[in-house]
Structure 1
């Protein structure tokens, strides 16, 4: 069995570190598991994945390891971010457990895992649609007030992966996982995922 990691994050107005740690230890005691490593952070979920040490987690956890959180909101503040993180864990063969929601993803490409990832993706799409609708309403109000907003239509922001499209596509064609591709090109998994999406790469 691989190592077991407990991830705890609190902000000033959320539950304490001790409460989350107690929930994880109680579960592990019942299941006869031992937490080998802890990630304990006191910061808002508005911080970047790097600041929340998510990228470090994805780099550290290996196939057969287990990540336990007291609830999904400890990982990220949006369903879209959670979906990306959980899918990265699955792709790396990492078992993921969220206690409050009773979620267990075994890090395998079985039917249960596929259904769970599909649900996350669906909720993320709904969330994006809601955000997009609110953004459009805000832009319409701003335009009505005569404000000029945003970058020119059709222009994408600069990415450190620009120019590496051919290398990335070649690795994908060879069946290299996205997690490993991210390591090869020197970026985090979420950064690669966002690049593929914005550049409409397969």
Structure 2
């Protein structure tokens, strides 16, 4: 059975007329219609369609982005369709997993998605290494440079300025200076009240 899936976003005043006509012309015997964002996985009509798939069915969409806006999610959906023994067809992009050429195209999509994930991991790793080289371990960027931090600590510990004055001088919140001073506080133990035997 050819099963159609049509989707339009709620955010735009769209209708499914063109999609429904194309799906009917393609021989869809049953069409699931959705009004939801393509970035969401929890689409009720999509879930209903997936639950009712049987071996030999062919899920048909007007365009790939009607099924999902994310390549990762699209591939997960295609994997689920294949696991049910069903096929998939996109009318605009001419993707048809019921043919050898269509299966090859779907595999190429998967390869591109894996390449994209690898590139993201590589960029993330390079960014973290660069941040570590610049003295940033993670979290938000420091408000003060290392030279400014040393200057604040020296001014407060020498008594030339108070913590509040340094905060105003360097235009940071007083708590930033307080945390800085706590990190650089000399570790001294209080003198005992009486001699230890």
Tell me the TM-score range normalised by the shorter chain: 0.5 to 0.7
Partner of 2:104 in structure 1?
Answer: 115
Take 1:142 and 1:24, find their aligned partners in 2: how far apart are those partners? Answer: 51
TM-superposed CA distance for 1:104, in Å, is 1.3
Partner of 1:18 in structure 2?
Answer: 17
Contact 2:57 2:87 (8 Å CA) reproduced: yes
Gaps of 5+ in 2: 141-197
CA root-mean-square deviation: 3.0
TM-superposed CA distance for 1:133, in Å, is 4.7
SS of equivalent residue, structure 1 residue 112? helix
Summarize the Cα distance change of 1:43–1:65 in structure 2 as closer, same or farther, 3 Å threshold. Answer: same
TM-superposed CA distance for 1:96, in Å, is 1.5
Greater relative CO, 1 or 2 (CA 8 Å, sep 6+): 1
Q: How many residues align?
A: 137
CA shift digits 1:113-161 (9 cap, x unpaired): 5423321210111222344355557767887666449xxxxxxxxxxxx
Contact 2:39 2:70 (8 Å CA) reproduced: no
TM-score, structure 2 length as denominator? 0.56
Take 1:140 and 1:14, find their aligned partners in 2: how far apart are those partners? Answer: 46
Gaps of 5+ in 1: 150-202
Among 80, 95, 103, the alignment partner of 1:88 is 80
Summarize the Cα distance change of 1:139–1:21 in structure 2 as closer, same or farther, 3 Å threshold. Answer: farther
TM-score, structure 1 length as denominator? 0.55
Partner of 1:38 in structure 2?
Answer: 31
